[in-house]
Amino acid sequence: MSRSINLAVIPGDGIGQEVVAEGLKVLSAVLPQDVKLETKEYDFGARRYHATGETLTDADLDALERHDAILLGAIGDPSVPSGVLERGFLLKLRFAFDHHVNLRPSKLLPGVATPLAGQPEIDFVVVREGTEGPYTGNGGTIRKGTEHEVATEVSVNTAFGVERVVRDAFARAQARPRKKLTLVHKNNVLTFAGHLWTNIFDKVAAEYPDVTTDYIHVDAATIYLVTDPGRFDVIVTDNLFGDIITDLAAAVSGGIGVAASGNINPSREFPSMFEPVHGSAPDIAGQGKADPTATVLSVALLLRHLGHDAEAARIEDAVSADLADRGGLPARSTSQIGDALAARVAG
């Protein structure tokens, strides 16, 4: 547990600005007096791209690398062509800092609305691989724009990359009361990658006899996420499947307004990055309508990553209490929710 936190702050685009301000408010409120918090803000995102054409330079990476962790709001704007900021900033950072554990907890808290009938119990964590799969940017296009165009995307999976994330997921499953780990893949169709994932999963499983294991195809997993989400405890899956099922998981467990994520480098060789699962929501930006809860919960993940478990738990308890009290109350602004959470963690 560090006595100082040197944090890189990337508000980004759209509602990113607003929600990050509340995340920092709650972070300052929860930290004990003797933990020194230093923050430095970076202007990545659409404005910087339009002004300079840059998304993330080598100098930027050098600067970011000197921080203990990164808090990100959201990146993306309709004025920038699809893919430019995603590949040029978000994914570039995840790859450069080897964020191979993309951690996405899903917990349906009391009092929170879900689109599912009957308020099922939902409490699971998805460990999404963050540096391989179809996200590597391998692939290409020939005869672009002609009737003979061919475009490929290559999913790259290595024993090294799969094993380290599978091990991380087993350790997380073992630390939870239910001790259950589900591998989600599509090994009946993607047989090359599927065999690699399945074989490594089975090999590591032998070292964790107390963890119950399970395998589900990704298509079937989406069915269970709406018909029986309680069956999941920890899920480990590849980058693309993880992207898809964590949005669905967020939707059924209270919406992306409360879905937090960590892009984690467990070895701490590089700083980890914490961000809400939601995007920049340009349609509601600047209006104080965004719910900062997902960002605040991402701050809790950040604190736990840095060893401040008690503070992380205080934030999570404050969020639970705030959500439980929402029913019937008039809608609050972004900063009102931030104020309420800051008051709870301080009090």
Ligand X SMILES: CC(C)[C@H](C(=O)O)[C@@H](O)C(=O)O
* Residue owning tokens 């009391």: 110
Q: Which residues are annotated as a binding site?
A: 94, 104, 128, 219, 243, 247, 279-291
229 sits in which H/E element: none
Tell me, what amino acid is at 129?
E
Look up 180 and say whether it is catalytic.
no
Residue nearest to ligand X (CB): 86
Q: Work out how close the CB of 92 gets to its own copies at its nearest, in angstroms, rounded to a whole number.
A: 12
Q: Can you tell me which of 20, 24, 64, 91 binds its own copies, judged by CB under 8 A?
A: 91
Structure tokens at 221: 């997993």
- Residues 87-116 interacting with ligand X (rule: CB under 6 A): 90-91
Rg (alpha carbons) of the chain, rounded to whole number: 20
Q: Work out how close the CB of 135 gets to ligand X at its nearest, in angstroms, rounded to a whole number.
A: 7
| Distance of alpha carbon 164 from alpha carbon 101, whole angstroms | 9
Task: Give the rounded distance of the alpha carbon of 172 from its chain centre.
Answer: 16
Pairing type for strands 69-74 and 272-276 reads parallel
Q: Which residues pair with 103 in a beta bridge?
A: 127, 262
Question: Does 117 sit near its own copies (CB under 8 A)?
Answer: yes
Question: Does 325 sit near ligand X (CB under 6 A)?
Answer: no
| Distance of alpha carbon 221 from alpha carbon 218, whole angstroms | 5
Question: Does 247 sit near its own copies (CB under 8 A)?
Answer: yes
Look up 13 and say whether it is catalytic.
no
| Distance of alpha carbon 210 from alpha carbon 181, whole angstroms | 11
Question: Does 159 sit near ligand X (CB under 6 A)?
Answer: no
| Distance of alpha carbon 282 from alpha carbon 265, whole angstroms | 30
Look up 247 and say whether it is catalytic.
yes
Q: Can you tell me which of 5, 169, 190, 296 binds its own copies, judged by CB under 8 A?
A: 190
Q: Which residues are catalytic?
A: 135, 186, 219, 243, 247
Which residues of the shown chain bind its own copies in the complex (CB under 8 A)? 76, 82-83, 86-87, 91, 114-118, 134-135, 137, 139-141, 143, 145-160, 163, 186-196, 198-199, 218-220, 222-223, 225-227, 240, 243-248, 250-252, 255-256
